[in-house]
Structure 1
Amino acid sequence: MKKSLIALALTGAFAVSAHAQSSVTLYGLIDTGLVYTNNQMGHSNWQLNSSSTQNTVFGLKGTEDLGGGLKAIFKLEQGFILNNGAQAFSGDMFGSQAWVGLQADQYGTVTFGRQFDVMNDLVGPLTAEFNTWGGSLAAHPFENDNLAANSVVINNSVKYASPTWYGVTFETMYSFSNQTSFASNRSYGFAVSYAQGPINLAAGYLQLNGAGNGSGAVQTSDASANFVAQRQRVWSLGGNYTYGPVTAGLVWSHSQIDNASGVFSFGTGTYLGSGDNSAGSLAGSLRLDNFEANVKYALTPAWSVSGAYTYTHGAYNGSNPGWNTAMLQTDYAISKRTDFYLEGVYQNVHGAPEGSVLSHAMINTLSPSSTDTQVAVTVGMRHAF
């Protein structure tokens, strides 16, 4: 009898130990709000909008301790539209993220699957458009540099992230086209960051070959591609400094888009410029330099105010269009998981060729204006679980 009790106790102990060494977590974020826009396709508009600041998602993530500082990890995440429950990435069961990998304390992490790119991982957090205190509405024109929170997701990718050494972290990735024409629709990039005390610095490079052209690393079928182009190259550099309740930052990015034929409009759910549409045409090479200044001030642990201004200088078919994008937000958290925000965004474009997509202001997540100016104000709430 005693032997049976001892065996039962040992079995229970091992079960608890095994359970402690592995875990699976259900998580998510819901973002919804009412948005007023002064001009969408020539008309003012009130709408219930999903993901105005952050992607609305749910997912599963897990880890298993393999011993010796080695872990198996995974994440499966689905983005969705709260208004009607539709998939944010049409046709993808786990369109936001789907990857598995190994993590070693000493050597870093290798992951495989559908993932966010390395520049978005390390440089993105220095921008207002990536964070809750700015978010998707505050993105640079056409989200041309992929620094907003997790909008472009890349298929067939292998990513390596180093451990942090003296505040320095390095990431690199390669995404296969998975086609016999090896370079047809592939992607690669690298990024490095430094965080020590109040200082955060980061820089990165991302290249997309043939994005949106058929299947491969970045596709139009699920709206992962921001541009349909022969090649897109993005350089970025940024930093911020925290002093007490204030964090201020500067970010520069350069996007070089060769033989562009279309740009995705989150508001209309279509690719503008790639056919006959009221927003105009897009054909040729496009160069965009984004200069962002941002600041966040925590008035109390629960209440914050933030702002950002981005000037974007462009070069397109002999013209030099320019965009002014400004954002102001105030946010109040009523708990650790629930907060409310009020945000306004202004965008104006000048110098763009008439009849092109570029001549219309288009705040991210909204349909384009019929003029060169667009203003949006949203009041919303977020809940994390």
Structure 2
Amino acid sequence: MKTPLLVGGCAALLSCPALAQSSATIYGSIDTGIDFVTNAHGGHLVQESAGKRTPDRWGFLLREDLGGGNSAFARLESGYLSNTGAQINPNSFFNRDAYVGLANDKWGSLSFGNIPDYIYEYVGALNNSVPGISSFYTIGNLDGLANTHPLNNSVKYQTINFHGFQAGVMNSFGNQAGDFSAGRQYSFGVRYGNGIVKFGAAYTMSHNRTADVFGVFSLTSLLGQPLRAGVQFNASRYSTIAVGGSVVIGAFTPHFTYTDVKLENAQGAEHERNYQTGVNIDLSGGAHLYILRVTYDHSTFDNLAFNQYNLFFTHYLSKVTQVYAGVGLQRASGPNAHAEQFGYLASSSNTQTVGRIGINHMF
């Protein structure tokens, strides 16, 4: 929903040479469905849940034309759960986005605030979960493709879109006196899109960041650190490389994504490597009314391996409303391996199947 606004109150009382124009957009997404999980901590689970197709969220996008090719912009975006009405992060109201900036139609844009990194922005939309359900993301979402870790205290620069090419760099300040690198994060990326071919690549580095290695992989130690429930792995350096792409070939859109997550401390490093590939098939002959997606995920970490096979069907009732059904089968192998699809309780065995039917409406 867009609401045009007039900015420049001086025009009411003073003589102004021009009256700047502004727009305010209120937008969001509501997604609710029924899940069927074969093994959730040892038992079958049937539940209603929200935000598994696309995160429930609402927000404001503000833009003011300053003239001369310049503009000001701001975004505030908050996540919630439509099945309960609860705020998804009780400690952060605008947990997904909160930033303000300036843009020039020749030089690009500069923004400040709480901003997702380029892993999410440039590669996230190319992975197996779009369209899909959250369980199609990589194991534990350590690579951040699902945007659960925006960068606080960030400064971000992004070029204009030049014949399909765009690039950007950002820095997140640690805000710790006497140690500039402590808690600091930075990210950069490039992407290209021409309607048929899409490609993205990005890198993010975080200093002094934690990861729930025990909760995701059931490992009781990693790189000399003992782990248990509620105790996270402390990485002195936590880096992610991501690349992805897709191409439209008639009714078929094959796609791939690769991410490499590196956790480091003084004793060494461990990698989570994720490979995703699949194809979207337009069953409606180019009308994009019925889309079938078949995908495969392969992930490795320490001595563990995870293979997942996904099937997803979407019926677009309109440009903003869709009904869907999806299923994912995951098999884990390695010492004490437990299957755990992202966003769901871990299995008590090395296999887990998650199915979901639901409806998603964008506004």
Structure-2-length-normalised TM-score: 0.84
Q: Give the secondary-structure state (helix, strand or coil) at the position aligned to 1:142.
A: helix
For residue 28 of structure 1, what is the amino acid of its counterpart? Answer: G
Which residue number corresponds to residue 218 of structure 1? none
One of 160, 173, 181 as aligned partner of 1:176:
173
Alignment of 1:233-248 (within 5 A): 233-248=239-254
Q: Distance in 2 between matches of 1:37 and 1:284?
A: 37
- Say if 2:159 is the partner of 1:162: yes
- Say if 2:329 is the partner of 1:346: yes
Q: Is the 8 A contact 1:140 1:325 kept in 2?
A: no
- Say if 2:353 is the partner of 1:367: no
Which residue number corresponds to residue 70 of structure 2? 70
1:196 CA drift (Å): 3.1
Q: Which runs of 5+ in 1 are unaligned?
A: 1-9, 214-225, 261-282
Q: Which runs of 5+ in 2 are unaligned?
A: 1-10, 212-231
1:367 CA drift (Å): 1.0
One of 292, 297, 301 as aligned partner of 1:310:
297
Q: Distance in 2 between matches of 1:196 and 1:313?
A: 33
C-alpha deviations, 1:66-86, integer Å up to 9, x for none? Answer: 111111000001100112211
Q: Is the 8 A contact 1:78 1:93 kept in 2?
A: yes
1:259 CA drift (Å): 4.6
1:111 CA drift (Å): 0.9
1:90 CA drift (Å): 2.3
Q: Distance in 1 between matches of 2:160 and 2:176?
A: 33
% identical equivalent positions: 31
Q: Distance in 1 between matches of 2:28 and 2:136?
A: 22
Alignment of 1:225-236 (within 5 A): 228-236=234-242
Q: Is the 8 A contact 2:133 2:326 kept in 1?
A: no
- Say if 2:274 is the partner of 1:290: yes
Q: How many residues in Structure 1 have an aligned counterpart in Structure 2? A: 326
1:368 CA drift (Å): 0.9
Q: Distance in 2 between matches of 1:84 and 1:45?
A: 18
Q: Distance in 2 between matches of 1:26 and 1:228?
A: 38
Q: Distance in 1 between matches of 2:316 and 2:245?
A: 26
Which residue number corresponds to residue 96 of structure 1? 96
Q: Is the 8 A contact 1:232 1:255 kept in 2?
A: yes
For residue 59 of structure 2, what is the amino acid of its counterpart? Answer: G
Q: Give the secondary-structure state (helix, strand or coil) at the position aligned to 1:123.
A: helix
1:193 CA drift (Å): 1.1
For residue 333 of structure 1, what is the amino acid of its counterpart? Answer: Y
Alignment of 1:1-385 (within 5 A): 18=19, 21-129=21-129, 131=130, 133-148=131-146, 150-180=147-177, 181-212=179-210, 228-259=234-265, 285-300=269-284, 301=287, 302-314=289-301, 316=302, 320-351=303-334, 353-354=335-336, 359-385=337-363
Q: Give the secondary-structure state (helix, strand or coil) at the position aligned to 1:86.
A: coil
Q: Distance in 2 between matches of 1:253 and 1:337?
A: 30
1:166 CA drift (Å): 2.8
C-alpha deviations, 1:315-343, integer Å up to 9, x for none? Answer: x2xxx211102211101121222110000
Q: Is the 8 A contact 1:186 1:211 kept in 2?
A: no
Q: Distance in 2 between matches of 1:246 and 1:141?
A: 27
Moved more, 295-304 or 170-179: 295-304
Q: Distance in 1 between matches of 2:158 and 2:310?
A: 32
1:294 CA drift (Å): 1.7
Q: Is the 8 A contact 1:134 1:307 kept in 2?
A: no
Which residue number corresponds to residue 3 of structure 2? none
For residue 362 of structure 2, what is the amino acid of its counterpart? Answer: A
Q: Distance in 2 between matches of 1:154 and 1:166?
A: 28
Q: Give the secondary-structure state (helix, strand or coil) at the position aligned to 2:209.
A: coil
Q: Distance in 2 between matches of 1:88 and 1:167?
A: 35
Q: Give the secondary-structure state (helix, strand or coil) at the position aligned to 1:230.
A: strand
Q: Distance in 2 between matches of 1:362 and 1:18?
A: 56
Cα 1:61–1:228 change in 2 (3 A) is farther
For residue 308 of structure 2, what is the amino acid of its counterpart? Answer: T
Q: Is the 8 A contact 2:236 2:265 kept in 1?
A: yes
Moved more, 237-246 or 91-100: 237-246
1:125 CA drift (Å): 1.9
Cα 1:348–1:18 change in 2 (3 A) is farther
Q: Give the secondary-structure state (helix, strand or coil) at the position aligned to 2:248.
A: strand
Structure-1-length-normalised TM-score: 0.80
Q: Is the 8 A contact 1:126 1:240 kept in 2?
A: yes
Q: Give the secondary-structure state (helix, strand or coil) at the position aligned to 1:211.
A: strand
Moved more, 88-97 or 104-113: 88-97
Q: Distance in 2 between matches of 1:53 and 1:208?
A: 28
Q: Is the 8 A contact 1:127 1:294 kept in 2?
A: no
Q: Is the 8 A contact 1:291 1:310 kept in 2?
A: yes
Q: Give the secondary-structure state (helix, strand or coil) at the position aligned to 2:119.
A: helix
Which residue number corresponds to residue 264 of structure 1? none
For residue 136 of structure 1, what is the amino acid of its counterpart? Answer: S
Q: Distance in 2 between matches of 1:204 and 1:363?
A: 24
1:258 CA drift (Å): 2.1
Cα 1:227–1:121 change in 2 (3 A) is farther
C-alpha deviations, 1:171-227, integer Å up to 9, x for none? Answer: 1110011111322212111111122352222211111111249xxxxxxxxxxxx97
Q: Distance in 1 between matches of 2:361 and 2:194?
A: 30
